[in-house]
Structure formats: C-alpha cells, structure tokens
Amino acid sequence: MITKPKGTYDLLDIEGRIYKFIEQTATNFAENYNYEFIRTPIFESSELFHRGVGETTDIITKETYNFKDRGDREMTLRPEGTAGVVRSVIENKLYGNRHDVLKYYYLGTMYRYERPQKGRYRELTQFGVEAFNSDDPLTDAEVISLGYYFIKSLGIEKFSVHINTLGDAESRDNYRDALLEYLKPHINDLCEDCQKRYKTNPLRILDCKADKDNPILKNTPKISGYLTPDSKKRFQKLQSYLNYLDVDYEINENIVRGLDYYDHNVWEYVTEDEAVALGGGGRYNHLVETLGGPALPAVGFGLGVDRLILEIKKITPEQPLEKCIDAYIMCINEEEKIHAITLAQDLRLNGIIAEVNSNNLSLKAQFKLADTLNSSFLIILNSEDLQKGIITIKDNQTKEEFKMDEDEVVDWLIGNI
C-alpha cells in the first residue's frame, strides 16, 4: 500500500470542513481590511529565500526542500510566504507612483523539512497578510488587530498577542554586543544550536526551544535597555494604538521571530493553555531593498492554518464541524427521479445546497440519510402530486409541511433558508 509522505496529512471530513471555514473567514477578514488576494509560485529560485529569509536562519540552514530543475537551476519549495510576495511586488513594479498602502493576503502551502509534531508538519498551510509603503506604527497595529480579531472570529478565545521590539539597526547593534558579552562565559552550557548562533545570529538564542527554561537565558540583558529614543517612541505608539483597538497583548522581550528580515515591532499570537504560537509577524523595512527593489517599508504576519484547525477541534464550534445541506429531495420511481434531478439543478444554480436520492434507497433510508446530512428541508416527491404540478416541502426542524406549485419551490426555499 502506498502511504502519504512523513510530515503530511490528508485534509478531509471534519478537518476539511474546518479548513473551508477558516479559508472563507480569512478571505472575508482580509477583504474587509482592503487587502487584495495574491498567489505566488510554490517553488522559486533558491536565491530568493537565501537572500530574503537569511542564510543563518534555521529555515534555510536545516529545513528547506531544495532541488535542481532540468535546466540545472537551483530551486526551493517555498518555506514561508513573505519573500515570494516581496519578489512579486518588485518584479511587477506594484509600488510605482503610488501613495497608498499596498495590501495583499495569501492562503497557501509551505514546505519545511523539520521533525513532525502536533500542529507542525513538513507540508503546512499559512494565511498571511503583507502591507507595503507605510512606516507608521498605526499600520503595525492594524495588521496585528486583523490577525487578532480573525482568530477570535474562529471561536478561539484563550490566546493573546505577545509583542516586542527589535529596535533600529543602532539598537540591535548595541544589544547584540551586550548579549555576546553576557553569553560569552556561559556559551558552553547551552545547546549545540545556540553555540552556533552565538557566532552567526546571537539574537536567535533568545528563541531557543531546547534552553528556554535555562536560567542563563532567563537572565539575559533585555533589549528595552538598549533602544534608541526613536525605537522607544515607535514601540510606545504601537502599544497606544493596540489599546485603542482593544487588542489583548503583553510585552515579551524574548520574542525575536525566526526570520532575519525583521526589525522594530514583532509579535506572536500565543495560546494560553499550551503556550503554542498560532503564528506571528513583524515589520521588515529593508527586505524589499535587499531583494533588489526600492526602499519600501513593510509589515505583515503569517498564521499556521494547521494549528488553527487543532485549536478549533478543541472547542468544536457546531457550524464548521457539522455537515449540513439545505434540501434533500426524496424520490422513488423513474418519473420522480427525473423531477428530482431537474429540481436539484435549479436549486443548485440558485445557491441552494441540494442532494438527491441517487442510490435507489427506500423512503425510510432516505429519511435517515437526510438526518445524517442535517438537511434543513425535505422535498418529498410522489407521482400523484407531480401530475398536478404540486410538491411537498417539510421543515426538518419544526416538522411542518407545505404544499405548493412546482414552479414556486425555488423562490420559496430562497426566502426561507
């Protein structure tokens, strides 16, 4: 038997319905905030991610799926969404002669070769947004609030936003020097990855999962003590805007995010019970320029849809979990089946979810199947009524029955669903 690759899973049944619920909600939220949909290729030139995400990040050093195509070109399955969107903005010159904020959202699969665990897969799905051409912390607050209220709209309540600032280049340089000085006598007491990061990207040590409870990391200097006045002001403004937007947040100075391109404000959406990060984001004012575009400030986030599915399954909201249809059409003989299939076609073309007895089930079995499908209405056909042009509709909740002319059925259901 052929089985699915390690670190992947089939999306079907309950999880499939939750995914569609998340997809529809994400689309509605993003478009309400005036974001436009964008889709970038699943694979891109490896250079894009090496230059964009950063050579020293775990994603690039350990987790990317790389291959050569038949033209001997180095390609990589996208490990995250931002770099591809930035490439598209540059390549298509979407920034030309515009004074408004460029806003895009995406929902797609990413690929990371990492150890599979609960809610973390090698093939993963992300919902993300990116906003370009604004350096105002107000935009950061808007992006954070979009993700915050989107998660709440899914029925997930027990989470908060953890925010931090990485400051400007001067702030980070000062902090990096202080952190290196502090860690120098302790570095051999940390994990192997942290010892490597000490030489390449010391701020990533703060985000180490293996040593997160190590007293050495708990007592590191805090970046808030090394911020320039401008960086402090920017972070204070963000907090002020989040307060006005009623976003539940807390300051967590260990939030650094796992990608090299971030600066200034960064954040994660974190569950209260298991302290699991549902996703996160931050500002990246220099990435567009790094990838060959103009100096264009930007900010965005990415949320893990797979983790959102697990959280929703915990709370089991009825709407996305239940399979339900609007009308089940009951029929027995050939004459009734012809009426059933043509009526179903009319209903479906008018946006009504309809199902027909296409397995020659008995009436008893059809009633049972309609209940299994949570059908709101039953449309009961019989040859005697059909000869008179009459159809019976039964409300499956109240059990009330209605008889009407056959040509009134579609309009009646549209008005009662």
State pLDDT tens for residues 321-339.
Answer: 677 899 999 999 999 999 9
- 139 and 55 within one domain: yes
- 282 and 345 within one domain: no
- 306 and 164 within one domain: yes
Burial (Cβ within 10 Å: 0-12, 13-18, ≥19) of residue 397? exposed
- 102 and 24 within one domain: yes
- 252 and 385 within one domain: no
**CB within 8 Å of 156: residues ≥ 6 apart:** 271, 278, 308, 311, 312, 315
Residue type, 396: N
- 251 and 386 within one domain: no
Q: What sign does the dihedral 56-61-64-70 (CA atoms) show?
A: positive
For residues 93 and 81, the answer to whether their CB atoms sit within 8 Å is: no
For residues 54 and 259, the answer to whether their CB atoms sit within 8 Å is: yes
Say which CATH number the domain at 313 has.
3.30.930.10
Question: From residue 221, how far is each of 177, 197, 203, 218, 361 by CA, in Å?
Answer: 11, 17, 11, 9, 72
The pTM (predicted TM-score) of the whole model is 0.88
Domain presence at residue 197 = no
- 301 and 288 within one domain: yes
Average pLDDT, the chain: 91
- 259 and 396 within one domain: no
Point out the domain boundary residue: 318, 334, 354.
318
Domain presence at residue 68 = yes
- 121 and 39 within one domain: yes
- 35 and 124 within one domain: yes
Domain that holds residue 370: 323-416
pLDDT in tens, the chain (417 residues): 999 999 999 999 989 999 999 999 999 999 999 999 999 999 999 999 988 787 766 677 789 999 999 999 999 999 999 999 999 999 999 987 677 899 999 999 999 998 898 888 999 999 999 999 999 999 999 999 999 999 999 999 999 999 999 999 899 888 888 888 888 888 888 888 888 888 877 887 887 777 777 888 888 888 899 999 999 999 999 999 999 999 999 999 888 776 678 899 999 999 998 778 999 999 999 999 999 999 999 999 999 999 999 999 988 655 556 778 999 999 999 999 999 999 999 999 999 999 999 899 999 999 999 999 999 999 999 999 999 999 999 999 999 999 999 999 999 999 998
- pLDDT tens across 30-88, in order? 999 999 999 999 999 999 998 878 776 667 778 999 999 999 999 999 999 999 999 99
Report the number of distinct structural domains present in the chain: 2
Domain presence at residue 62 = yes
Domain presence at residue 152 = yes
Domain presence at residue 221 = no
For residues 258 and 59, the answer to whether their CB atoms sit within 8 Å is: yes
- pLDDT tens across 230-269, in order? 999 999 999 999 999 999 999 998 887 766 788 999 999 9
Domain presence at residue 205 = no
Q: Strands 375-380, 263-271: parallel, antiparallel or unpaired by DSSP?
A: unpaired
- 36 and 119 within one domain: yes
Domain presence at residue 218 = no
- 333 and 305 within one domain: no
The pair of three-digit structure tokens given for residue 98, joined into one six-digit string:
């515009």
